[in-house]
Structure 1
Amino acid sequence: MVQDLQNRQILLKERPQGMPTEDTFEYRDIPVDAPGEGQVVVKTMYLSVDPYMRGRMSNLKSYVEPFEVNNVISGGIVGEVVESKSDRFSVGDKITGMLGWQLYNTVDARLVRKVDEAIAPLSAYLGVLGLTGLTAYFGLLDIGKPQEGETVVVSGAAGAVGMVVGQIAKIRGARVVGIAGSDRKIEVLKDLGFDEAVNYKTEDSLYKALKQACPNGVDVYFDNVGGPVSDKVMNLLNDFARVPICGAISAYNITSPDQDMGQRIQPKLIKSRALMKGFIVSDYSKFFKEASVDLAKWLSEGKLKYEETIVEGFENVPQAFLGLFKGENIGKQIVKVNS
């Protein structure tokens, strides 16, 4: 029973200025809450850390409410039901949901859904079969709309979203060019079937390298990073190109807007008649089920592969999160909390 269990939480201790540090976080030990009717107690097995969480650490208006100081941080969790007062779940069921960064979550059963280990390892439900895969799916197919033979460029291509985007573009018959920040990541992208991959950290002229990799220009640019990398891609857009804006990690830790000044893109968009559109995966929530079927099918057929960087230990969650902004992860960054 839960009265015999001790919980541990990770709180937002303070709002960071610039890059977060380990001082941004604080641990707290409390008893596990007993479940009420319709609730379950979930033991955390795997925990997701994601770049968008940096935005929620700031007290700024956004598409989602900021984390509250001195409260538990939340994110994607895969866990096991250890006590249930709901007819939806039994003890031992594996579930996923947006839950707190803590060893145990006592939650309404309607906030989580069951996952099937027979389809994929549990950690995949935080990545390719979770919000990561859905983000890639909808951003590329609804906004990017790649056609056979077109050129698709993906920045942050060795990240969790980027590598799925590139593979879905290949499934659609496009030519795919990935941009990443290490030779190891370039190797991974080529193993995943990317036609070309460019290391933006080692090229003397990134624009020249991209132009060589994209001799017919760029029809779809899936942007995960913003900043100087995206400035170079914008100069290669073809007429009627599509630019899904998924993220801008280059600017997540700036302390002043002046630090993120770049070229004016309006003339380029006018001349190319290109579409640039930001999106949030929750915009597509009513279509999640059908997209999940496609992703699982491609995964089972071997058309879709994924990489994970797994850090072990609940005590290492902050370090895993901070590593996202240093480019330490390949694919989805996950923390393994319990077996």
Structure 2
Amino acid sequence: MSINRQIVLASRPQGEPSADNFRLVESPLAPPEQLADGQVLVRHHFLSLDPYMRGRMSEGKSYAQPQPLNEVMIGGTVGEVIASRHPQYAVGDKVVGMGGWQEYAVVNAAQPGLLRKVDTTHIPLSAYLGAVGMPGVTAWYGLMKICEPRAGGTISVSAASGAVGSAVGQLAKSRGCRVVGFAGGPDKCRYVVEELGFDACIDYRQHATLDSLQAALREAAPQGIDGHFENVGGMVLDAVLLQMNAFGRIAVCGMIAGYNGEPIPLRHPQMILTSRLRVEGFIVSEHMEVWPEALKELGTLVATGRLKYRESVAQGLASAPEAFIGLLKGRNFGKQLVKLI
């Protein structure tokens, strides 16, 4: 326990990230008796891998500061308190935080927002990094506050089998919407329809042209689209713009198609005007006021089995770089995690 293994960002990627951009290091871990007042020592059980991390690896302008070189990669974590000098945290408490790509973290628990106790009686610990964590709240906010689902309307979502997209679709179904997803591959599309309950799912890999993709979308959403949740960009967004109803709403959560610096031009931006669309980008950490309401609903749905989710789990800290690269290429199925214990 005297050694803490960590993964740091060794270099900034040029184009697609590679394993060479990361480095595994070992750092001494101070003994628990040396904790300062208010500090908590956490042993991480799972760490979260998320697409936003790719943007942080670059120095270009973004909504957050770049990940510093030679420092522990940023990331969400869940784990167990193994030593505490804070009155509200006891040894054995399960917690969620932003501990980063490392096996242990010393956290100043007195600072608001750095650590939160969670109840694992009815919700698995790992779910607090997915359906009942940041991805789930991201889905909830974009759907509820931007897409504004209404019974009888149609909601579409890209990356529908992922941690965010799968929650968007299920939440929209629970509000009486027709839901159309986009996913890559027949297995993911089958899962989205048969297990998650979407009305339709389009395998974008089967459509080499915009005309082909648009035809498939017209068949899946014959009444047009009222709200769209965008995670990818590119040709999917082009097809959606052509199928949006007047006064439709588009929540822009991610643009994975351009995360490695590729241009992602719009073929028909005039549809924003023609259909009088509202297109709004958002970062869920800027809307902390909705987290309690969102987490209450998400937690209840997961605990009662009404919100389904899937996890891809890599084993051991050393597997994190390759698992992250796979995530950006769509190799994961559901929420990508790394199991550390």
* Fold conserved between structures, TM > 0.5: yes
Q: Which amino acid aligns with 2:103?
A: L
Give the gaps of 5 or more residues in structure 2.
none
Deviation string, structure 1 residues 314-338 (Cα, Å, up to 9, x no partner): 1101111111122111111001111
Structure 1 counterpart SS, 2:107:
strand
- For 1:254 and 1:100, locate their aligned partners in 2 and report how far apart those are by CA, in whole Å: 24
In structure 2, C-alpha distance between the alignment counterparts of 1:170 and 1:326, rounded to whole Å: 28
CA distance in 1, matches of 2:103, 2:21: 19
Residue from 3, 12, 30 that aligns with 1:15: 12
* DSSP-derived class of the 2:141 partner: helix
Distance in 2 between residues matched to 1:48 and 1:96, nearest whole Å: 11
- The residue type paired with residue 214 of structure 1 is A
Pairing 1:248-267 to 2, within 5 Å after superposition? 248-254=255-261, 259-265=263-269, 267=270
Q: Equivalent residue of 1:262, what SS? A: coil
Letter aligned with residue 248 of structure 1: M
The aligned residue for residue 314 of structure 1 is 317
Instruction: Check conservation: 2:47, 2:100, Cα contact below 8 A.
Output: no
Q: Summarize deviations over 1:32-75 as a string: whole Å, max 9, x none.
A: 13421110111110000000000000112222111001111111
Partner Cα separation in structure 2 for residue 102 and residue 138 of structure 1: 29
Counting aligned pairs with the same residue, the percent is 47
What's the counterpart of residue 227 of structure 1? 234
1:243 Cα offset (Å)? 0.3
**Which residue matches 1:291?**
294
Which amino acid counterpart does residue 205 of structure 2 have in structure 1? K
In structure 1, what is the equivalent of residue 176 of structure 2? 173
Q: What is the CA deviation profile of residues 69-97 of structure 1, one whole-angstrom value per residue up to 9, with x for unaligned ones?
A: 11111110001111111111111111010
Number of residues paired by the alignment? 331
The answer for the alignment partner of 1:26 in structure 2 is: 23
- Aligned equivalents of 1:215 and 1:100: distance in 2? 44
Query: 1:6, CA displacement in angstroms?
Result: 0.8
Deviations 1:167-186 (A, max 9, x none): 00001100000000011101
Shift of 1:261: 2.4
Equivalent-residue separation in structure 1 for 2:124 and 2:303 (angstroms): 12
Residue identity matched to 2:275: S
Query: How far did 1:24 drift?
Result: 0.5
SS, match of residue 91 in structure 1 = coil
Point out 4+ residue stretches in structure 1 off by more than 6 angstroms: none
Secondary structure of the residue aligned to 2:287 is: helix
Rounded to whole Å, the distance in 2 between the matches of 1:282 and 1:240 is 27
Indicate yes or no: 2:197 matched with 1:193.
yes
Aligned mates of 1:40, 1:68 — CA distance in 2: 24
TM normalised by structure 2 equals: 0.95
Structure 2 equivalent of residue 161 of structure 1: 164
1:91 and 2:91 are equivalent in the alignment: yes
* Secondary structure, aligned partner of 2:98: strand
Give the distance between the partners of 1:260 and 1:87, measured in 2 at CA. 50
The DSSP-based 3-state class of the residue aligned with 2:285 is helix
The 3-state SS of whatever aligns with 1:139 is helix
Q: Distance in 2 between matches of 1:211 and 1:63?
A: 34
Contact 1:144 / 1:220 at 8 angstroms: preserved in 2? yes
Residue in structure 1 matched with residue 147 of structure 2 by the alignment: 144
- SS of the aligned residue for 1:198 comes to strand
**AA matched with 2:123:** A
Q: Secondary structure at 2:205's aligned position in 1?
A: coil
Of residues 24-33 and 157-166 in structure 1, the stretch that sits farther from structure 2 once superposed is 24-33
Distance 1:305 1:153 in 2: 18
The 8 Å contact of residues 141 and 290 in structure 2, kept in 1 or not, is answered as no
Q: CA deviation at 1:264?
A: 4.2
1:109 is matched with which residue?
A: 109
For residues 217 and 264 of structure 1, the distance between their equivalents in structure 2, rounded to whole angstroms, comes to 16
One-letter amino acid matched to 2:240: V
Matched residue, 1:332: 335
Deviations 1:9-31 (A, max 9, x none): 10000010111000000111111
CA shift digits 1:74-126 (9 cap, x unpaired): 11000111111111111111101011211110110132111111131100000
Measured against aligned partners, the alpha-carbon deviations of 1:148-172 in whole angstroms (never above 9, x if no partner) come to 0111111111111000000000011
Q: Deviations over 1:193-239 (max 9, x none)?
A: 00001100013511111111111111111111011111111110101
**Letter paired with 1:217:** G
Two-structure CA RMSD over aligned residues (Å): 1.2
Distance in 2 of aligned mates of 1:95 and 1:321: 23
Other-structure match for 2:283: 280
Residue pair 1:171, 1:303 contacting (<8 A) in 2 also: no
SS of 1:44's equivalent in the other structure is strand
Residues 35 and 107, structure 1, Cα contact 8 Å, conserved in 2: no
Contact 1:12 1:68 in 2 (8 A): yes
Aligned to 1:57: 57
Please state how far the C-alpha of 1:269 moved relative to its aligned partner.
Answer: 1.2
